[in-house]
Amino acid sequence: MNVPSVAAPLAADARKPARLKAMMTTYRVPLSILALCILPWLLPSKALAVNVLIYGVVCVGYNLLFGYTGLLSFGHAAFFGAGAYITGIAIGQFGVSWYLAVLMGVTGGAVLAFIIGGMSTRTRGIYFSMVTLALAQLVYYVALQASTWTGGENGLRGFTVNRINLFGFDINFLDPVNKYYVLMVFAAAALWLVSRILNSPFGAAIEAIRENERRARTCGYDVERTKLLAFTLSGTICALGGTMSALHLAFVPLESLHYLTSGMIVMMTLLGGASSFFGPFIGALVFLLMEDVFSLWTSHWQIIVGSIFVLFVLFLPKGIWGTFLSRVVR
């Protein structure tokens, strides 16, 4: 008689983390938004919180391709930068209103992702990383040369957004708290979109391609088209991150197109945990926090961040969140 009463709580305990995990998956979008709402009050500065927001969106978009489709792109800076540059040029040189500029930046990034994706998804395996890197460097050098539009080496300036009009409310965009919560709406939209994509049959198809491309092909999936669509969606979300960055900084540095920015996106995503929903955002948060803390001690903080990344690849390839899930929730 005693046996079940002992076993039952044990079994319930064992199932508890699993049930918690299932609940977190179901409510992943509201949970992320809740976390984002309190984030600026937990971090040392509001500017850091805005950066986490921006790179979190970029990494969530990147992870759609890297974590879920299994394609290691080293060229996503091109879409991030394109979104930022197009937004900046639209506001600064054509006087377009800010929301239209965001729309143009995202659309431009999507078109660029479609073109680069069209070329790079033709290649197989390890070529893909090299080709995406090379094509993104092409975009970098084009931006460097087209200095009448982009400002060349000095980056793009002169498009400060001071006040924005949001459904009739006039908001002071220079106030970091206002800025954070306005940009958070974009981040929430991106998170919802990615969650929706992952829940769709298309989401299952990209994971099938990651697990076994040949099997997915045999099952009748059009692998090339699916990859291209995943690439384009992923690039589009990165471009949204780029437009947010342009609005935030009122400046687009040329480095935002450089392959080291692509590498940073890869590092953040892997650090947090690829192929998990919360991982990329956590990765962006941890990476930027490390940058914030280490750069106080030394200007050579990259050597510490690089070493930590190498250790993660060696010992914790699932990243912070992925390791946490596999250790705590079995």
- Asked whether position 313 contacts other proteins by CB under 8 A, the answer is yes
Options 124, 214, 327, 330; binder of other proteins; rule CB under 8 A: 124
- Asked whether position 296 contacts other proteins by CB under 8 A, the answer is no
**CA 35: distance to chain centroid?**
16
Question: Cβ distance 84 to 258 under 8 Å?
Answer: no
SS3 at position 169: strand
**18 burial type by CB count under 10 A (0-12 exposed, 13-18 middle, 19+ buried):** exposed
Which of 206/246 has CB closer to other proteins? 206
Options 266, 282, 284, 286; binder of other proteins; rule CB under 8 A: 266
Options 26, 145, 172, 326; binder of other proteins; rule CB under 8 A: 145
Closest by CA to 150, choosing from 223, 251, 236, 74, is 251
Instruction: Tell me how crowded residue 16 is: count the other CB atoms within 10 A of its CB.
Output: 11
**Gyration radius (Cα) of the chain, Å:** 21
CB of 268 to other proteins, least distance (A): 12
**CA 70: distance to chain centroid?**
15
Angle, CA 212 vertex, CA 209 and CA 216 arms, to 5°: 55
- Asked whether position 310 contacts other proteins by CB under 8 A, the answer is yes
- Asked whether position 80 contacts other proteins by CB under 8 A, the answer is no
H-assigned helices in the chain: 2-26, 28-38, 46-63, 77-94, 98-120, 127-145, 147-150, 176-199, 201-211, 213-218, 223-249, 259-272, 279-297, 301-315, 319-328
- Asked whether position 293 contacts other proteins by CB under 8 A, the answer is no
Window contacting other proteins (CB under 8 A); options: 106-114, 179-187, 240-248, 256-264:
256-264
Window contacting other proteins (CB under 8 A); options: 57-65, 76-84, 141-149, 232-240:
141-149
Where do we find the tokens 């299994």? 70
- Asked whether position 20 contacts other proteins by CB under 8 A, the answer is no
Options 29, 33, 43, 72; binder of other proteins; rule CB under 8 A: 72
Between CA 172 and CA 52 the distance in angstroms is 21
Between CA 284 and CA 187 the distance in angstroms is 13
- Asked whether position 317 contacts other proteins by CB under 8 A, the answer is yes
- Asked whether position 307 contacts other proteins by CB under 8 A, the answer is yes
Options 27, 94, 99, 141; binder of other proteins; rule CB under 8 A: 141
Window contacting other proteins (CB under 8 A); options: 9-17, 132-140, 184-192, 221-229:
132-140
With contacts defined by CB under 8 A, how many residues of the chain interact with other proteins?
39
Window contacting other proteins (CB under 8 A); options: 19-27, 78-86, 101-109, 126-134:
126-134
Options 125, 168, 201, 220; binder of other proteins; rule CB under 8 A: 125
Q: Which residues bind other proteins (CB under 8 A)?
A: 72, 74, 119, 122-127, 129-131, 133-135, 137-138, 141-142, 144-145, 258-260, 263, 266-267, 270, 300, 302-303, 305-307, 309-310, 313-314, 317
